[in-house]
Amino acid sequence: MKATVITIGDEILIGQIIDTNSAWIGQQFSALGVKLYEIISCGDDAAQIVNAVERAKSQSQIVLMTGGLGPTKDDITKKTLVEYFNTELVLNEEVWEKMKKIFEKRGVQVLEINRSQAMIPKDCIMLPNMRGTAQGMWFEKDGAVFISMPGVPHEMKHLMETQVIPRLQEKFTFPKIVHSTIMTAGAGESMIANILTGFENELPDNIKLAYLPDLGTVKLRLTASGSGATLTDEVNAQKENMKALLGNYVYTEGEEKLESVIGRMLMAKQATVSCAESCTGGYISHLFTSVGGSSKYFEGSVISYSYDVKEKMLGVKHESLLNYGAVSEECVCEMLEGLLKATGTNYGIAVSGIAGPDGGTPDKPVGTVWIAVGNKEKIVAKRFQFFPSRMENIRVFSTAALNMLRLFIEGNLK
């Protein structure tokens, strides 16, 4: 069973909006057991829409379209589909009355242009949209299903969940799909893949492994398809084998973020943490505080960007800065010592590096960072070398620091 998604709108092609609909639909189809064969984006042009539909029909049983159902002249999807399916528009009185009530409730005058959204193709199944005025449409032709929905994300999702997916499940028999995910940190995609080479080669034909890297983390997703009752058990067994091979690189099952995992670890220990950030400018603190309930364990941070603040707020020695520089083991260790003394937290993180694009030297190029984590009894500092891009560095520095803290709390940081 294959599906093609067609996103319609000039605003997508010129980059005015980002197409998030396709990603969300892909996730739903994957869970349903439908292979998303292709995503096609086209402008508000009848010929382009027809070409996209013809192409999709040649390779998929399900063709799902979003966008172009508004009341303005550039919204031509419905008119184009009417011509394509050789039907006509008829006024749906129920929809029209509902629309008039919506506008009346908002205190807005109903215009004749709004009436067009109550005109529904005669030969389609209308998919009622309870979140907006553009109705969804379901057509069938030559054994394929064609579904048109609004491009507004919350309206599209509402129709998918309440109308489209239930109807697809009634019409088709889908294979069982089981996903199982683990998250890793501290090793790049190539290193992880090298560790798992033998494991991946021995996977059964019905189980596939996908690598989904991000800055500092790699998501590993096992996907099994079939009809057997033991499919979940098969995937879980393979997941355990994979975890055993990867060891401390695995920080959680599922898709939980690193900062959430560390938060749970700290709460379990009734412990607290604070940060001393230079090159990351508060990004690590942002990650901590983006988690609900983080006030239970996150005490605060010192953004010590300058030498002066490092010395006055954290007690970094002037001689250390002169002799070794801010991007050094000596500096981050003293930053962390001063932080722990000032905040009294059980754990701390200190970071100092060169995010770029300027400031690098031959011995400390852009992307160099020193990270220290620890407590009042022990501090561990490490040097890393990452990217030439500033924003990538800020993110990956922060992830590396969080992962070091995780390993330190677990007693696995060497």
320-349 pLDDT per residue, tens: 999 999 999 999 999 999 999 999 999 999
When comparing pLDDT for 228 and 215, which is higher? 215
Q: What is the pLDDT of residue 73?
A: 81
Average pLDDT for 286-304: 98
Q: How far apart are CA 8 and CA 67, in angstroms?
A: 5
355-371: string of b/e by CB count within 10 Å (b at 16+)?
bbeeebeeebebbbbbb
Q: Percent of the chain beyond pLDDT 90?
A: 85
Task: State the chain's maximal CA–CA distance in angstroms.
Answer: 83
pLDDT of 227 strictly over 80: no
Q: What is the pLDDT of residue 82?
A: 96
Average pLDDT for 368-385: 98
Q: What is the pLDDT of residue 194?
A: 97
Q: What is the pLDDT of residue 29?
A: 92
Q: What is the pLDDT of residue 301?
A: 98
Average pLDDT for 62-89: 93
* Both structure tokens of 27: 């996730």
* Both structure tokens of 363: 């011995």
130 closest CA partner among 161, 165, 108, 93: 161
Q: How confident is the model at residue 173 (pLDDT cuts 50, 70, 90)?
A: confident
Q: What is the pLDDT of residue 184?
A: 98
Among 112-121, 201-210, 227-236, top mean pLDDT goes to 201-210
Q: What is the pLDDT of residue 138?
A: 98
Q: Are 53 and 77 in contact (CB under 8 A)?
A: no
Q: How confident is the model at residue 97 (pLDDT cuts 50, 70, 90)?
A: confident
Arithmetic mean of pLDDT over the chain: 95
Q: How confident is the model at residue 105 (pLDDT cuts 50, 70, 90)?
A: confident
pLDDT of 112 strictly over 80: no
260 closest CA partner among 236, 225, 293, 234: 293
pLDDT of 228 strictly over 80: no
pLDDT of 409 strictly over 80: yes
Q: Are 218 and 258 in contact (CB under 8 A)?
A: no
Q: How confident is the model at residue 174 (pLDDT cuts 50, 70, 90)?
A: confident
